[in-house]
Amino acid sequence: MIVKTDNAQIQSYLVDAANYKGFCEAVYFPENENEVMELVRFAIREKKKITVAGNGTGLTGARVPEGGIVLATDKLNGIIELNEAEKYAVVQPGMLMSDFKKLTEEKKLFYPPDPTEQNCFLGATVATNASGAKTFKYGATRNFVLGLNVILPDGEKVVLERGRQFANGFNFTLKTESGKNINCKLPDYKMPETKHAAGYYCKENMDVIDLFIGSEGTLGIITQIKLKLLEKPGSLLSAVVFFEHENDALDFITEARNKSYETRKNMTELGLDAMGLEYFDKNSLDFLREDFSQIPSGYEAAVWFEQDCTTGEYESILEKWITLLRKHNANPDVSWIAESETDRKKFHEFRHAISSKVNEFINKNNLRKVGTDTAVPDKNFIDFYFYSKRLAMESGIKFVIYGHFGNSHLHLNLLPANDAQFRKAKFIYKQILNKAVELEGTISAEHGIGKLKREYLLEMFGEENIRKMARLKKCIDPYLILGIGNLFEEKYLLE
């Protein structure tokens, strides 16, 4: 197994896309499951903490070590099986999302989880339950995980298959490959019904596999993943439309969302059924214009939407979208409707550019990201949007708003120019998170908690529930070695 200790060689493992920085003794690169197990046993013997690293695009410091060793998954990057007939793939955790998408598309298959950043590893997308633009229709990564091999932090291996191992109420047993039974208790808190990625996924009688999805590298090391695939759609309608007035854009999204729900419920033929409804405010458009000069000026908002359909359905569905756009005063003359795969890719780049430009700005100014990842129930979203926007405007700090508005999921990024503004931005951020929780939403809908957001997880769930999460973690990680510092402070594990 390759081990790196040289400072220059391990720098990239000590930071993530949020510019959160850490330190460690060494980075290990196991090349198979046995080496992962050996490494865990070594860490137990030597009393060393392990942080699992994906590709470092996380935005919460979750992969950033604070001492101990890093287990890098880069060398576990193969595809084990791609079953076209039964539509599934078995992969190793270090496979790049973009490589996986290419492979599946070549076989006319479709993997909907679509984080805006495609430069991430599949294992990490499971560990964070990543989602993205298509989550509005297809749900998060969780919906596509059929099986997992996991090396537990006590050095044992479990093989989990969806639909096979369920909790009994809030109690569950992990049966390891060597025949050991680990009996643990799930916290009994209630999770919000919105898109949600904050804290352990826990429900009465749940499928045990779901506990590991979104556990942010704290409960086990994922070494193999079986993913469900769909048939590649015959056609993809994709458009970026511009609105002179923000209210029109928001009304358009609300109606498109409701129509999509209706289509799915009634299985309406040729109905509107968006895969994603992505919003960009005026500040985002201004921010993007230096890279995309074709963005028209004088528009307060834009929406990117996509719908998958058959080739035969395309024209009638497009007509329905145009009717809805006209109703909400979008300007079809300046809007972009994809006519080719190249256009569709450009729209993806456009969406990606706003997130990456924000991160670049933060890194250039050596600041930490102050960006919300909040979702609230649809019925509360418009109030929540204007509440958040008002706070940002009143602060005088530069900001951009974009996000997965189909899921009522808001990314409001404050871009503080100095330390004083950074402190003010943190204060506003907290007010917005509190509001999301008050409106029955979540403080994180997709990025997770990591180390950067644990104080807010504590506020959202309360100390008693954090203690329950810590007890669950201790049950699975009795030596307290894995992903320490993610989700909650270490002190809860020492009680």
Ligand X SMILES: Cc1cc2nc3c(=O)[nH]c(=O)nc-3n(C[C@H](O)[C@H](O)[C@H](O)COP(=O)(O)OP(=O)(O)OC[C@H]3O[C@@H](n4cnc5c(N)ncnc54)[C@H](O)[C@@H]3O)c2cc1C
Q: Residue 335 or residue 359: which is nearer to ligand X going by CB? A: 359
**What are the start-end ranges of the E strands in 122-220?**
145-151, 157-161, 171-175, 181-185
User: What element of type H or E holds 438?
Assistant: helix 419-438
- Interacting residues with ligand X between 16 and 45 (CB under 6 A): 16-17
Query: According to CB under 6 A, which one of 20, 49, 50, 58 is a site residue for ligand X?
Result: 58
How many CB atoms sit inside 10 A of residue 11's CB? Answer: 10
Can you tell me the distance from the alpha carbon of 442 to that of 38, in angstroms, rounded to the nearest whole number?
38
Number of residues that bind ligand X (CB under 6 A): 39
We find the least distance from the C-beta atom of residue 444 to ligand X, in angstroms, to be 10
Check residue 115 for interaction with ligand X (CB under 6 A). yes
Q: Which of residues 341-360 bind ligand X (CB under 6 A)?
A: 355-356, 359
Q: Which of residues 63, 389, 468, 473 is near ligand X by CB under 6 A?
A: 63
H helices present in 215-270, as ranges? 246-266
130 contacts ligand X (rule: CB under 6 A): yes
Figure out which of the listed residues 68, 132, 153, 371 binds ligand X, where binding follows CB under 6 A: 132
128 in contact with ligand X (CB under 6 A):
yes
- The least CB distance from residue 114 to ligand X, in Å, is 7
Least separation in angstroms between residue 388's CB and ligand X is 19
Of the pair 55, 388, the CB lying nearest ligand X is at 55
3-class state of residue 413 by DSSP: strand
Cβ proximity to ligand X: between 354 and 466 the closer is 354
**Rama region for 389: left / alpha / beta (φ>0; ψ in -120 to 50; rest):** alpha
Two structure tokens written together for 236: 């993809």
Could you say whether residue 446 binds ligand X (CB under 6 A)? Answer: yes
Cβ-based neighbours of 267, under 8 Å, separated by 6 or more = none
**DSSP states of 67-79 as a string?**
SSEEEE-TT---E
Distance separating alpha carbons of residues 105 and 4, to the nearest angstrom: 35
Name which position in 10, 120, 152, 229 contacts ligand X (CB under 6 A): 120
62 binds ligand X (CB under 6 A): yes
Residue 447 in the binding site for ligand X (CB under 6 A): yes
Among 53, 272, 295, 466, binds ligand X (CB under 6 A): 53
Q: Which stretch binds ligand X (CB under 6 A): 59-67, 260-268, 305-313, 336-344?
A: 59-67
Rounded to the nearest 10°, the torsion over CA 363, 392, 117, 469 is 100
User: Which distant-in-sequence residues (6+ apart) come within 8 Å of 445 by Cβ?
Assistant: 131, 194, 195, 196, 197, 373, 374, 375, 404, 407, 409
131 lines the binding site for ligand X (CB under 6 A):
yes
Give the one residue of 19, 73, 238, 372 binding ligand X; rule: CB under 6 A: 73
Helix (H) or strand (E) run with residue 419 in it? helix 419-438
User: From the CB of 315, what's the least distance to ligand X, in Å?
Assistant: 30
Say which DSSP state 189 is in. Answer: P
Per CB under 6 A, residues contacting ligand X are 16-17, 51-59, 62-63, 73, 93, 115-117, 120-121, 123-125, 127-128, 130-132, 216-217, 221-222, 355-356, 359, 446-447, 483, 486
